[in-house]
Each structure stands twice: as structure tokens, then as C-alpha cells.
Amino acid sequence: MTTDPLGFADEALDALLKEELLRGLTDIESGPGPEVVVGGERLINFSSNNYLGLAEHPALAEATAEAARRWGAGATASRLIVGTHGLVRDLEQRLAILRGTEAALVFPTGYQANLGTVGALMGRGDLIVADKLCHASLIDAARLSGATLRTFAHGDLALLEERLAKHPERGRMLVMTDGVFSMDGDLCHLRDLVEITAHHGALLLVDDAHAVGVLGKTGAGICEHFGIAPPRHLILTATLSKALGSQGGFVCGPRRLTDLLVNRARTFIFTTGLAPPAAAAALAALDVIDREPERRERLSANRERLASALKAKGWDLGGSVTPIIPLMAGTPGAAMALAARLRSNGILGVPIRPPTVPRGASRVRLSVMSTHTDAHLDALIDAVGDV
């Protein structure tokens, strides 16, 4: 008798269903704007990371089309094999200038930027200390690197110091955090983290995926928000795929860091480079961000309007100070019920359940865009209702 080697998948899927944790894919039949068509229904979109509405901006569409016509659709091989396209080189220069660092290196995704960077820097005998709520890609990166991974409770810097102090004799040390926490919308304590890591001789990696284009006077991200020039032990990773409306990831820091990554980051070396149209879209996004600061202003005004209305209705928004606003529900079932209630009122707000968030902390994660109108926000406020 032969057993079905994939038989365990049925059991795993059944278990997920029972725990209300089963996920499936739905079709989206529109662009990624403030209103989307999902399953034939027109819904107001509070589920995207398209914070500035750039993914559907005509300048990005035009740049993408023009790049595809001139240079083709794909990069076809690793940059170490086929070379770096001029658009990618320009993009790296622009990103380094935006972030105030010596250099930048573009990866095919933000996930790969994190994986490759941590893997290139850390290995057996080294210590990584991560905020418990940092993005899954950082946790995966730490596990893959072979370094010892310890976590500290969200924002608990005393515990972080304790962890660092306990391992002075070990190899290199790296502290990892999100700049803006992706499911809570709160910020890391950047100033303290920079000081603590400098004091302990550790590197600091800040994943700024949700801050680029959003935080700071010019949209430069978390450092600009806190008025800090990036020190040389700070590594900033981020994505081109959220506020910048394109696809891809990048790392900013000293030149010797990016030189090392070119030689050591496996997710850079053994993968095809960023497609020229994606680089062109990101460059166009940087132009729009410079040219249209009113997008960031509107985003911030929309966020304030929504947050204060929700607070007035009794919702506890935790530490959220950004366009990411969690509506805490508790159990997966409660989060799904809240999302279903929103949906029946024409609102797309996706339930977030474990393992994306800790058990007991399921929620609907709302994400505000600069392109939401007052009518969109009012519809959401009405649909959410009182706690």
C-alpha cells in the first residue's frame, strides 16, 4: 500500500479551517485605487499599502510603459551576470540621496532585501536581537542566517539592553526592528535604539518599508521623521512596493555595506535583477513625491480625521501614529466578523490573524491613502460603528 505523500495537506488545511485561520485568495478586478472591484463588488479600499496613490498615478504608468518599450519587460538574469541597467543605477543613486546614506542597493523585493542583508552580515556565533513585532521577513532572515536569535517584548529597550549585555563575548551583534510596525502603525524608538546599539557596538537594522514616502518632511522615512542623520552602524531596508507604488526592495547604508552585499547577499546574487520597468516606475514615484508634497499632507490629514473619529467612537488605536490603524478584535472569528460587517457596508478592510499577528490580537488593519475622499472616510467611520 502506498500512502499519499501530500495527504498531510488535507489535515493541515482542516486544522486551519477549524481554528478560523484558513486563508484563500480572492480576485481583484480593478486597479489598486481608493475604490476597488473585488468579486464583482465595488468597495472602498482600506487594505492597501498604496499610501500616496502612486501605484495608479499616470506618471508611473507612463514611465513603466516607456521603459518596457525601450528596454524590454524583464532583467533576464542576475545583475552580476547581465549587468546593472542604467535605470537601476539611477534609482540607487536617488534612493541614497533620499535616505541620506552613502549608498543604496536594489533587490527584487523588500523581503529579499531583508533576507540577503541579514544573511550577509550574520552567521553562527553572532547574536541577533529583534523586536518581537518586527516583520516576518526579518525573523526568517535571522533564522536562515544561523545566528542566535533573541527577541525583546515590543519596544522594551531595557530588555534589549539586557540581551545585548549578556553576550559581550560573542561575535557580531545586530538589533532589528521595523521603523513603522506594519500591523500596529506605531514607531520604533529610533533615537534610543541608535544610542543603545552604538554603546554596545552592535549594528542596527531598521526596516522602513512603511515609512518611505510617508514619514518625514520630504518622505525620506524614519530618520527624517526623528531628525537623525543615519549613523554608520545603521542599515535601512525598505520596499519600492508600498508608498512608491512599484515593485522591489532596497538597502541603504555605507558603501562598504552595499559592496559586501553584492558579494555575499544570496538573495541578490542568485536571483534576477529588478526589471527595468519597475525601476522606471520607482524613479517616477520619487519625482512625484518631490513634486506633489500635497499627497503626503493629504495622507496625514486623512489619517488624523479617521483616527480622531474612531477614538471618539471608543476605539483604542494603540500606539498608531501613522496611516496604519488597527481595529483590535481579539479572536480570528471576531476579526472576520468585523471585516464582514465592513464589507456589507461597502468597505474592504482585511482581517489579520495569526501568524501575522500574535494569538489574541487578531484585528482588521486599516490603511489610509491620500486619495481617500472625505466621503470614503465618512463611509468607513459609519460602518465601523461604536466599539
Ligand X SMILES: Cc1ncc(COP(=O)(O)O)c(C=O)c1O
Residues 15 to 74 in contact with ligand X, rule: CB under 6 A: none
- Given the residues 47, 137, 182, 246, the one annotated as active site: 182
180: β partners: 187
Site string for ligand X, 228-267 (x = CB under 6 A): -----------x-x-------x------------------
- ω into residue 355 within 30 of 0, thus cis? yes
SS3 label, residue 367: strand
Rounded-to-10 torsion of CA 75, 92, 174, 80: 40
Considering the complex, state which of residue 111 and residue 152 has its C-beta at the smaller distance from ligand X: 111
- Given the residues 57, 135, 242, 376, the one annotated as active site: 242
Q: Which helix (H) or strand (E) holds 298?
A: helix 293-312
| Residue span binding ligand X (CB under 6 A) among the ranges 52-60, 105-113, 119-127, 321-329 | 105-113
Considering the complex, state which of residue 178 and residue 186 has its C-beta at the smaller distance from ligand X: 178
Which of 46, 51, 111, 152 forms a contact with ligand X (CB under 6 A)? 111
Under the binding rule (CB under 6 A), the answer on residue 135 touching ligand X is yes
The CA-to-CA distance between both ends of the chain, in Å, stands at: 56
Minimum Å distance from CB 104 to ligand X? 15
| Residue span binding ligand X (CB under 6 A) among the ranges 204-212, 270-278, 328-336, 378-386 | 204-212
- Name every residue whose Cβ is closer than 8 Å to that of residue 27 and which is 6 or more positions away in sequence: 38, 39
Under the binding rule (CB under 6 A), the answer on residue 109 touching ligand X is yes
Site string for ligand X, 150-179 (x = CB under 6 A): ----------------------------x-
Considering the complex, state which of residue 155 and residue 379 has its C-beta at the smaller distance from ligand X: 155
Which of 47, 207, 324, 338 forms a contact with ligand X (CB under 6 A)? 207
Strands, DSSP E only, in 40-179?
41-45, 103-107, 127-131, 148-152, 173-178
Which of 177, 182, 267, 367 forms a contact with ligand X (CB under 6 A)? 182
Cell of 230: 543615519
Closest CA to 273 of 262, 281, 284: 262
Rounded CA-CA distance 336/354 in Å is 12
Considering the complex, state which of residue 110 and residue 276 has its C-beta at the smaller distance from ligand X: 110
Considering the complex, state which of residue 99 and residue 210 has its C-beta at the smaller distance from ligand X: 210
Contacts with ligand X by CB under 6 A: the residue count is 13
351-352: strand order across its sheet:
324-330, 362-367, 351-352
| Residue 182 among the catalytic residues | yes
Under the binding rule (CB under 6 A), the answer on residue 137 touching ligand X is yes
| Residue span binding ligand X (CB under 6 A) among the ranges 106-114, 121-129, 149-157, 259-267 | 106-114
- Name every residue whose Cβ is closer than 8 Å to that of residue 328 and which is 6 or more positions away in sequence: 316, 318, 361, 363
Minimum Å distance from CB 125 to ligand X? 26
| Residue 242 among the catalytic residues | yes
Closest CA to 48 of 358, 361, 350: 350
On the CB side of 225, how many CA atoms lie within 13 Å of its CA? 21
Q: Which residue is nearest to ligand X (CB)?
A: 110
**Furthest C-alpha separation in the chain:** 68
- Given the residues 57, 210, 225, 233, the one annotated as active site: 210
Under the binding rule (CB under 6 A), the answer on residue 110 touching ligand X is yes
Rounded CA-CA distance 301/334 in Å is 29
Among all residues, which ones are annotated catalytic?
182, 210, 242
Which residues of this protein are in contact with ligand X, per CB under 6 A?
A: 109-111, 135, 137, 178, 182, 207, 209-210, 239, 241, 249
